[in-house]
Amino acid sequence: MIVMKFGGSSVADAERIRHVALIVKEFLPRKPVLVLSAMGDTTDHLLEAADEALGGKVSIERIEGLHLAAIGALGLGEDVARTEILPLLEELKSLLIGISLIRELTGRTKDYLVSFGERLSVRVAAAYFRSIGVKSKALDAWDAGLRSDSNYTSAEVLDESYASIAAVIGPLVESGILPVVTGFIAKTADGHITTLGRGGSDLTATVIGAAAGAEEVQVWKDVDGILTADPRLVKDARPVSTVTYEEASELAYFGAQVLHPRSMQPCKRTSTPVRVKNSYNPAAPGTRIVSSLEAGALPVRAITSKKNVTLVDIVSSRMLGQHGFLARVFASFEERRLSVDMVATSEVSISLTLDAAHDLVALKRELEKIASVDIRKGKAIVTLIGDVSRSSEILETTFGVCARSGVQVQMVSQGASKVNISFIVDDDQAGEVVKALHAAFFA
Ligand code: ASP
Ligand code: MG
C-alpha cells in the first residue's frame, strides 16, 4: 500500500484532476490511498467569503462555480452534483448566513468553514474515478479515523488516530477500493471540525501512511523534488535524491516551501519513506526522505538564504560568570513578541537575528539599561542543510569560499539540530555567496 497526496494546484480543475487520475492509475497495483487538498485556491476563497459574510454579504458563487464546472467538464452528470455536492454547498451557504448574522468568526467556525474545500474536492475526485471504472470512495478525515485536539486552526493529531486509521483504511484497500481522503481537516473527540494549519494536507498524508503501514508516502508537487538551491538564484540547482527526515523538516522551515514543517514527524516514527514527486514529470524519481543516508552522500544537501534580516549584538561585561543575564535579555524580546531566528553567544556577548520588519527603538532603549547594543539592518542568513557530523569539512569549504570572494562572515551558528549550519553576511552579498557555495559543494 502507498499513500499519494496531491495539493490544491494539482486538482485545480477538471483537466488537472484527469491528469492526477492518469498518474494514480499507473500506481493501482501498489494499492494507493489518495489524500487531496481543496481544489485550487478554494481555501483562500472560503476565507474571503467569510470576510464578506462578516461585512453582511453572503456569496458562494465562486466556489459553487468551480466545483460544478469541474463536474460538468469531467462528464459526471446531474446525480453526482445533486447527491454529493449540492448538499455541502447548501450547508456552506447556511453557515455563511450564520456568520453574516452574528458578525463573528471564531477559530472553530473558521475551521468548519474551510473544511468544505477538502470535503468537496474528494467527492468530485472519487466520483470521477468511479466514472472511469476505478472503485473509489470519498472519505472525510474523521471517517478515516483522524482525531485531533481542539486547538482550532492549528490542531494536533491525537495518537489514538493511528489505530483507528489502520482499522478503516486497511480493509478498504484490501477490498480493492481506492479511498480518497480529505487532507488538512480532522475532528475533535466531541465532534467539532478542526484543521491542521495551512498546507496541512502533507501532514494528513504522512499520518495515514504511518498509521496504515504504507510502504511509501508520495507527496506530488510541481517541481522535481527538493532542490539543492532556489532555482531562481542558482541556475543549475538540481533535485536532491535523498534527504533525512530532519533535513527535510529543517528545509521546510528555511524557505524551501516543499513540505509542511510538521509533516515529517509521523513517518520518522515508523521509518516510512516519503517521496516528493513532480506531477508534471512523473517519470522523474523525485526526492526520497528516509532515516539515514547511504554511504558516500555529499556533506551538504541544500543551501538556502533568507534576506532582510536584522542583526542585534548585545555586549556586556556584566554577563561574565553571571546567571540570569540571558533570561533578562530574552524577556525583553518576549514582552515585545519578537521572534528570534539565530543566536550565538560568547562569555560577554550575544548576537541574534530578527526579521527586519520590527521597530526596535524601544527594545534598544530597554536593553541599553544592561548592555551596549548594536543593531545592524540589511543582513542575510545563509543556511547549509546537511550532515553536521561533517561540520569541519563543511565549514572549511564555506569559509574558503567566503574568504576568496571577499565576504565577511558576521556570525555563525551550528544548531543543535545536527543538520543546520547558518551564518550571516551582508544582504547584497547573499546571492553571490549561495551561488559560489553551490558551485563548491555540488560541482
Ligand atoms: N487546502 C489547505 C490550504 O490551502 C490545506 C492544504 O492545501 O494542504 O492550506
Ligand atoms: Mg492549498
- Residue 254 pLDDT class (50, 70, 90 cuts): low
- Of the listed ranges 34-38, 114-118, 226-230, the least confidently predicted one is 226-230
Using the 8-state DSSP alphabet, how is residue 82 labeled? I
Ligand 1 centroid distance, CA of 298 (Å): 33
The best mutation among 119, 201, 203, 208 to test binding of ligand 1, ranked by most ligand atoms within 8 Å of the C-beta, falls on: 201
Ligand 2 centroid distance, CA of 261 (Å): 15
Largest Cα separation within the chain, whole Å, is 77
| Helix (H/G/I), strand (E/B), else coil: 317 | helix
Using the 8-state DSSP alphabet, how is residue 389 labeled? G
Per residue in 366-379, pLDDT (tens digit) is: 999 989 999 999 99
User: Which H or E run includes 251?
Assistant: helix 245-253
Per residue in 77-89, pLDDT (tens digit) is: 899 999 999 999 9
Alpha carbon of 127 to those of 4, 33, 74, 77, 135: distances in Å? 17, 15, 9, 10, 9
Neighbours of 320 (CB within 10 A): 10
Q: Are strands 193-195 and 185-187 parallel, antiparallel or unpaired?
A: antiparallel
Identify the residue whose C-alpha is closest to ligand 1 atom 8. 199
* CATH class for the region spanning 300-442: alpha beta
Ligand 1 centroid distance, CA of 197 (Å): 8
- Of the listed ranges 140-149, 184-193, 280-289, 321-330, the least confidently predicted one is 321-330
| Helix (H/G/I), strand (E/B), else coil: 348 | coil
Asked if 13 and 40 touch (Cβ cutoff 8 Å), the reply is yes
- Of the listed ranges 252-266, 390-404, 424-438, the least confidently predicted one is 252-266
Phi-psi region of 205 (alpha: psi -120 to 50; beta: other; left: phi over 0): alpha
CA atoms lying within 13 Å on the CB side of residue 167:
9
Ligand 2 centroid distance, CA of 18 (Å): 18
| CA atoms 256, 351, 367, 362: torsion sign | negative
Phi-psi region of 255 (alpha: psi -120 to 50; beta: other; left: phi over 0): left
The best mutation among 10, 11, 43, 222 to test binding of ligand 1, ranked by most ligand atoms within 8 Å of the C-beta, falls on: 43
Our answer on whether the CB atom of 195 is closer than 6 Å to any ligand 1 atom is: no
The best mutation among 10, 198, 257, 262 to test binding of ligand 1, ranked by most ligand atoms within 8 Å of the C-beta, falls on: 198
Is the pLDDT reported for residue 256 higher than 60?
no
Compute the average pLDDT of residues 250-270: 80
- Residue 325 pLDDT class (50, 70, 90 cuts): confident
Atom of ligand 1 nearest to the CA of 38: 1
Domain boundaries, the chain: 2-221, 300-442
Ligand 1 centroid distance, CA of 120 (Å): 13
Asked if 359 and 282 touch (Cβ cutoff 8 Å), the reply is no
| Helix (H/G/I), strand (E/B), else coil: 353 | strand
Q: Check residue 357 and give its pLDDT.
A: 74
Q: Are strands 274-278 and 216-221 parallel, antiparallel or unpaired?
A: parallel
Ligand 2 centroid distance, CA of 162 (Å): 24
DSSP string, 103-168: T---HHHHHHHHHHHHHHHHHHHHHHHHHTT--EEEE-GGGGT-BB-S-TTSPPBPTHHHHHHHHH
Are both 2-221 and 300-442 of the same fold? Answer: no
| Helix (H/G/I), strand (E/B), else coil: 183 | coil
Using the 8-state DSSP alphabet, how is residue 279 labeled? T
Our answer on whether the CB atom of 8 is closer than 6 Å to any ligand 1 atom is: yes
Mean pLDDT across the chain, nearest whole number? 93
The size of the chain, in residues, is 443
Is the pLDDT reported for residue 222 higher than 80?
yes
Our answer on whether the CB atom of 43 is closer than 6 Å to any ligand 1 atom is: yes
Q: What is the CATH number assigned to the segment(s) 2-221?
A: 3.40.1160.10
Alpha carbon of 120 to those of 116, 181, 371: distances in Å? 6, 11, 57
Our answer on whether the CB atom of 199 is closer than 6 Å to any ligand 1 atom is: yes
Compute the average pLDDT of residues 115-128: 98
